[in-house]
Each structure stands twice: as C-alpha cells, then as structure tokens.
Chain A
Amino acid sequence: MNNSPYSLKPASVQSVMLRVLCALLPGIAAYVWFFGAAILVQIALASVTALAAEAVMLRLRGKPLLMFLSDGSALVTAWLIALTFPSIAPWWLTVLGTLLAIMVAKHLYGGLGQNPFNPAMVAFALMIVAYPQLMSQWPAVGATDFAMQINAIFGTRQLDAMTMATPLDALRTVLRDPEQRAAIGGLLGSNATFGNIGGKGWEWVAAGYLAGGLWLIQQRIITWHMPAAFLATLFAVAGVFTLIDSTQFAPPLFHLLTGGAMLGAFFIVTDPVSGCTTPRGKLIFAAGVALLTWIIRSFGAYPDGIAFAVLLMNIAAPLIDMYTQPPVFGHKQKEGEPR
C-alpha cells in the first residue's frame, strides 16, 4: 500500500471553527456597546446548550465524544443562533432553538459535514414561525441596563419599555399601511430609528461583522465569491427598485447595513456544508440568497428574510454544484485544438 503524502500541513477543523468564532468578536463587541451585555448571556446560553446537545447526540450515535465536541462546529452554530435571535429573548427561546439546530438540523441529518440545511437558520426559521412576537422584541439602543435585560431573559414580565422595533420592522409597518406610505421618506430620514444609514447601532454591528468577514477571507477560511455576490446582488436589486419608486422601497445601503445582511454575507451564506462549493456555484448561490432576502424583506410577512432565503437556496445547492463543475486541467479547449 502507498499512503503518501507523509507530511501534512498543520490544519484542523478546530482551527477553522475557532477562527470563525474570532471573526465574530468585533461584531459582538459593537453589539455589547450599543445594546448591552445581554447578548453575552445569550451566547453563553446557546453555547452550553449546543455542547450539551452535541454530547447527547454523539453518545446516542456512538461517536467519539471528545474529538467532535472539541471541533468547535457546535459553538459556531450556537453563536450564530445567539446573534440572530433578539438579545432579550426569553432564555427558553434560545435554548429551544439551539436544541432544534443541533439535534434535528445537524445530527438527525448525519452530523458534522452532512446537514443539508444551515442549522442556525433552521432554528431561526422555526422559532420565528412559532413565536413571531418574541422573535421581534429587539432591545432599544442605549437600553443597556443589565439588570433589566437579565429580567427580560430569565423573568416572566414583558418589558415593552426597553424594546423597540428594528429598522426593518418599522419599515414594514409603514409599507403595510397605505395611509402612512407617504411618510417613508421621513421615516428613513429619522436618525432616531435609522441612524446614519442602516439603523442606529445596527450599522456599527454590521461594520464589525464586515471587518471580521474580511479577516476570514484573508485567512483563506472563506473565499470572496459568496460575500461579494450576496452584497452586490442585494445592492443592485435594492438600487434598481429605489430608482423606480423611492417611496416604496428602501435604499440599497440601508439593506446592506441593516438586519442580518452583513452577518449573513460573511458567516451564514458562506457555510460550506450546506452551500455551494464550486466558484460559479458560490456566486449563483449567494446571489440567489440575496434576491430572495430582498423579496421577503420587501413583500413578505417576516421582518428579515435571510433565514428563509438561505434554506431555500440550500435545497438548490447540490443541483447548482452539479451544473457548475469547473473544467479540469487540460480539458478546457476542444479536443485536438492545442493552443
């Protein structure tokens, strides 16, 4: 038997996952700065739940515990869940979402590397369908009183005082109501909700994700294809429709810096397991997610559409990959036609 190569580059799934977690840190820092430390509680909740669920499932499936628990993949899922759920959501919402993501979306489909759907997005989609009210309670900027946030997460009282509609929600409310439509210009201009471009506070969180995402590209963990195609498509579609009717559609920069767009572009769409892998496939996949996101944001019933858009494109990923296989060395030109 020949078992070459005998020397291997030091690389591991663990190091890939840890670097993804590191890349999330700037965004998390901005999140804490503007919206308080509640998000850290949610991250802790989701992480502990994810590791516990992972351990249970690995034991049930008879897989080596330590090797898979330490690979870091469950933590990435957990952090994405925490970052996409409202930071003052009740504790059980995060725990339930994480359990569904790890146990159902990941392990029931075969565990690491086998899941056809992005586990974090499965959690988000299920929870927003089941508990739309709770999934829409976002903290207001500056409402960073930690005691109140803890009460919101672990207490029983609803704390309307500290919540506020996200920019996307506010926009939706206006668009739904024909009488208010005329006010869209004023709404988008109001600094209180919408900050400079993409929502007060949120645009800085988005900038944090952007910084982390660019670092991931520099680290060769992800390629430029998906973020570029996603952001460019979202920008282009929003831009075209803003030009057509600026009273009906939000401007492109708003779309890029609000909601989960930046997180999605660099951390969610880029999930290699459930997405496309060929260069052209990646472009198509990410553009598809962006297009569906814009449609759901503009016409759908839910505030942000990234989760549904990702899941829909996950279904199409194998097919896209099949039709976008890149040409192999030496087979690029026609037979018998040497250059």
Chain B
Amino acid sequence: MIAKLFKFKGGVKPDSHKDVSAAAPIRVAPLPSHLIIPLRQSARAMARCLVQPGQTVLKGEMIAAAEGPLCTAVHAPTSGTVRAIAPQPVPHPSGLPAPSIIIDPDGLERWIERRPFDYRCVPAQETRNYLRDCGVVGLGGAGFPSHVKLGPGEKGIETLILNGAECEPWITCDDRLMRERADGILAGASIMRHIAGARRILVGIEDNKPQAIASMRAAVQRLGEADIEVVAVPTRYPAGGEKQLIRVLTGIEIPFGKLGTHFGVQCFNVGSAHAVFRAIAHGEPLISRVLTLSGNMAHPGNFEALIGTPIRELLPLAEPRTDTDRYLMGGPMMGVALLSLDTPVIKGTNCILAGSPALFPPPPPEMPCIRCGECAKVCPAELQPFELYWFSRARIFGKAQEYSLFDCIECGCCSYVCPSRIPLVDYFRFAKGEIWAREKEKAAADIARERYELRLAREEREKAEKAAKLAA
C-alpha cells in the first residue's frame, strides 16, 4: 500500500461537466468517406512515406516508416486505395497544413496478417522497435513515442505510472476506457513493466471517477500480479499533468529539462497502455482511438474512431446544437481551436468539444494587472505568473527566462482565475515563441560566422602557400 499521497501546489477546480458524456458506453464510429493520415503522428518527427497514389493498402499495413530516434511508423486505418499524398490541415496551433496520406476505404476492412508478438523471448530493445513499428505513441495528447519512454535511460525505471487522472473538464474517454477495457489496460501495463524492467505499477485516477477506480481494481485482482496499485488522487486540475501526477504519487518533482527516467519513474496514459496491449497481444498497430464528443451537443458520448477520420464526419454522431460557434480539440483548459473541420483525428485527439457563446463566452476586456497574486497561488509549476507577464509584455525575455518561463506547462490555471481577465498563457506562449525564434536566428548567425571565418582562414592559408611557392 502507498503510505501517503503527496500534494502539488496550486491547481483549480473548474466544473467537470463529465456526467454528460460518461454515462453511455463507447460506440464504434462508422467508416468515413475518406481518411487523412498525417505523416507526423509522433509530435517530433515525420515518418517516411512508403506508398504511392493509386496503391491498394490493407487495414493495419504500414504506410510510412519510422525514421530517426523520435519517429514512429504510420499505418492504414482500413483497407482501400491511396488517393493522394498531399498537404492537409492538421490539428496544430500553427494552422499550417502538413503532408498527409489520403485513403479511400473500400469498405471491406481487410486486415493484414495479425500475429501476437512474443515479447518475453526477445531483448527489450526488439520489443521497443516493434512498438515503434506499430506506431504506438502517448494517447494523452502530446503524442510522445512510447518506445522512447520505455528505454532504460540513465537509471532505469523503478516505478511505472499509469495516468488515468483525466483532469480536463468534459473529457471522459479514459474514464470509459478504464470502465470497459480495464483488463487490456493492465495487460499493456504489465508488458510495459516487463520491457522497462520496472518494479511496481501505480495507476493514478482522480477520485471523481469511482466506477473507473472500481473497474481497474477488479482487473488488478483478476490479473493477480504483485506490486500493482490503483490510487485515487484528489480531483484538482491539473492532477493529470504528467509532472503533477508523478509528484502526487511519488513525491518526486521533475524539473523542466529533465525526464522521468532521471528519477526512475515514467508515466503513460491508460490509452497508451491499451495500445501496447493491442499491438503485442493481437498484432494490431495503433490505428484507432477512443475520443469524447461533448460540449454543446445533443448526444455527447465516447466513440472509437479510426485515426484519420475527418472531424466533420464524426460530429453528426453527437449532434452539435445549432448555436455552436467553434470546436476545440482537447479540453477547455488546454485545447486548441480547430481552424477547419476537415482536420483529421490524430493519435493525440482525446476530445472534440463543441463551444457556444453561452458555454465559452468571449472573455471580457483585459484590465491592468493589480498584482493580486491569485495566479501565483494556483500555478502548479509554482511560478509567479504576474511577474512573467510584465517581462513578456515588455519583451524583457532574459528576465522572463530568469523567472523560469520555460517551467510553465501552459495549463491555463493563471488565466482561469485572473480577475483582470488577462490571457496570461497567451503572453507566455508569445514569449517562448520569440525566444525560440531568436535562438534559431542566433544559431544560424553562428553557423554563418563560422563559415565566414573558415573561408577567411582558407584564403589566408592559400595566400601563404602561394607566397611560399613564389618564394621557392
């Protein structure tokens, strides 16, 4: 048993709105008219396309291969024909289109040959490569490749944490997944424990999900393995933030720039564990996920959708109301507004939230900061957001970095409570963007200067050689 839970400072308690979508079981979304699969599925790196337009593909067939250490493979979510490989709108804050494979389904759902992977008989590295080739990434939102996180790191992993906190309001896909597929999740976690060589597994679930907790505890009993514990953590946003959950369960605080492995702990979303289970036990690559459709909708619920399904084709399942004025991908605290409904579901899509002026009213005009300090009280990174705000606004980026700007996890708590209605997180995103741009510029200038100096040195040397030749 866990002796005690730790606390993270700050946090807020927004209305959860989870009941509206949590009641009904997960439904399978129908096959869409076409699928748009971005080549960049794992946040950091783009996969190498393996198919040509006109080529027929099977369900689960690899259509793009992993290249580079942070890349994962991409698969055809159903059988059909490759229509094109072209830039398409993707759910990214930049709004820039990204290279994607467009597939027209044939409706036959013809699978590739699926074979379980015997992870017990091969070295862990081989299993990690297999997961990479199955396209398994974190399903919590950030989409970080799971095979990388399962690597040994410096110290190895002692504690494996499953993140079932699901702290964002409205979202219930992990809740439903834990209620309905607890055995699969735990089987996946057990496999991950084997790969990582971890000793224990802690499953953290916010205590506003009693059914999910009960379901997972029952599954632990059925699995019968030692050192697995399901822990109810206090409901307080952002308890599901990776660093916050690790802090609550283990007391370890992971600073900016460090990974869990530095401290012998690693954290995975429950959906990712389930994806690992499907890949290993059934030979199925990651081609679908459960997501929540909620907000201003007549029939909110959870749906299992193929990766690449255009959002437009999903929405009728939950029937958005007529006064819907926008759609968010993710929750109201950290979600991204969709610029186009042709955007596809990607691996990190946990929720599509319909917004209306009544539900998410436009913020009242920004007032000056009165330094009331409410933002500092709720900041889970324990920053002084109002100080960062002054520096960001005044473009004093050096000072902003000195005050730990990059430790900000952009959870939105500060903006949420600010009585002056200052969009603090917007200022921090702006400051980070400017700093990155400057660093890139500086790096480019450094390279140019180096080249110039090399050329000068070469010309100098050639001149000297010439002079020496002439003298000789």
Report the separation of the CA atoms of residues A5 and B353 in the bound assembly, to the nearest whole angstrom.
13
What CA separation (Å) do A6 and B419 show in the bound complex? Answer: 15
- Residues in chain B near residue A328, CB distance under 8 A: 255, 381-383, 404, 407
Which residues of the partner chain B approach A2 to less than 8 Å between Cβ atoms?
A: 93, 336-337, 429
Decide if B332 touches A6 in the complex (CB within 8 Å): yes
Determine, out of A33-41, A95-103, A110-118, A241-249, the stretch whose residues face the partner at the interface. Answer: A110-118
- Whether B252 and A11, one on each chain, are in contact in the complex, defined by CB atoms closer than 8 angstroms, is no
Tell me the complex Cα distance, A3–B9, Å. Answer: 24
* Contact status B367-A9, CB under 8 Å: no
A326 to B403, CA, bound (A): 10
In chain A between 301 and 326, which residues have their CB closer than 8 angstroms to a CB of chain B?
321, 325-326
Determine if A113 and B368 form an interchain contact, defined as CB atoms under 8 angstroms apart: yes
- Interface residue B85 (Cβ < 8 Å from any Cβ of A): no
Which of B243, B247, B256, B370 sits near A272, CB closer than 8 Å? B370
- Decide yes or no: A15 and B382 within 8 Å by CB, A3-B426, A330-B407 being known contacts: no
A13 touches B370 (CB 8 A): yes
Report A61-103 residues with CB < 8 Å from chain B CB.
64, 67-68, 71, 73
CA–CA, A205 and B449, complex, Å: 72
Segment 1-43 of A: residues with Cβ below 8 Å from B: 1-9, 11-13, 15-16
Whether A277 touches B363, Cβ cut-off 8 Å, given contacts A3-B423, A5-B415, is no
Q: Is the CB of B367 within 8 A of A8?
A: no
Give the complex CA separation of A271 and B299 in angstroms.
49
The reply to whether A331 and B404 form a contact with Cβ atoms under 8 Å apart is: yes
Q: Is B138 an interface position by the 8 A CB rule?
A: no
In the complex, chain B residues whose CB is within 8 Å of the CB of A326: 382, 384
Q: Which residue of B lies closest to A275 (CB)?
A: B371
When C-beta atoms are compared, the residue in chain A nearest to B402 turns out to be A325
Asked if A5 and B367 make an inter-chain contact with CB atoms under 8 angstroms apart, the answer reads no
In the bound complex, CA of A91 to CA of B348 (Å)? 67
Q: Which residue of A lies closest to B378 (CB)?
A: A9
Given contacts A5-B412, A330-B253, contact A11 B419 (CB under 8 A): yes
Q: Are B370 and A330 in contact, with the CB atoms below 8 A?
A: no
Give the B interface residue count (CB, 8 A): 66
Bound CA span A212–B230, Å:
45
Cross-chain contact A329 with B243 (CB below 8 angstroms): yes
Number of A-B contacts (CB under 8 A): 140
A56 to B376, CA, bound (A): 34
- The CA of A5 and the CA of B168, in the complex, are separated in Å by 11
Is A327 part of the contact surface with B, judged by Cβ < 8 Å? yes
Answer yes or no: B262 CB below 8 A from chain A CBs: yes
Residues of B within 8 A of A113 (CB): 367-371, 420
- A245-276: which residues lie under 8 A (CB-CB) from chain B? 272-273
With A328-B407, A329-B382, A330-B258 given, is the CB distance from A272 to B373 under 8 Å? Answer: yes
Q: How many residues of A contact B (CB 8 A)?
A: 42
Within B231-257, which residues are at the interface with A (CB < 8 Å)? 243, 247, 251-256
Q: Which residue of B lies closest to A333 (CB)?
A: B253
A186 located at the interface, meaning its Cβ lies under 8 Å from any Cβ of chain B in the complex: no
Q: Which of B349-366 contact A (CB under 8 A)?
A: 355, 359-360, 363-365
Cβ A6 vs Cβ B251 within 8 A = no
| Inter-subunit contact B372/A16 (CB<8 Å) | yes
Query: What is the CA–CA distance of A1 and B332 in the complex, to the nearest angstrom?
Result: 15
B381 CB contacts on chain A under 8 angstroms: 328-329
**Would you give the 0/1 interface string for A211-224, flagging 1 where the beta carbon is closer than 8 Å to chain B?**
00000000011010
> Residue B317 at the A interface, CB < 8 A?
no
- Pick 24 A–B contacts, CB within 8 A, sort by A: A3-B337, A4-B425, A6-B333, A6-B335, A6-B355, A7-B169, A7-B332, A8-B416, A11-B417, A12-B419, A13-B370, A16-B370, A64-B365, A112-B370, A114-B368, A272-B371, A272-B372, A272-B373, A277-B371, A278-B384, A325-B403, A328-B255, A330-B243, A339-B252
Beyond A4-B328, A331-B407, list 8 extra A-B contacts (CB 8 Å): A1-B93, A7-B14, A7-B360, A9-B416, A11-B418, A67-B367, A113-B369, A329-B381
- Interfacial residues, chain B to chain A (CB-CB below 8 A): 8-9, 12, 14, 93, 95, 169, 243, 247, 251-256, 258, 262-264, 328, 330, 332-337, 355, 359-360, 363-365, 367-374, 376-377, 380-384, 386-387, 403-404, 407, 410, 412, 415-421, 423, 425-426, 429
Instruction: Report A's interface with B, CB cutoff 8 A.
Output: 1-9, 11-13, 15-16, 64, 67-68, 71, 73, 111-114, 220-221, 223, 272-273, 277-278, 321, 325-333, 338-339
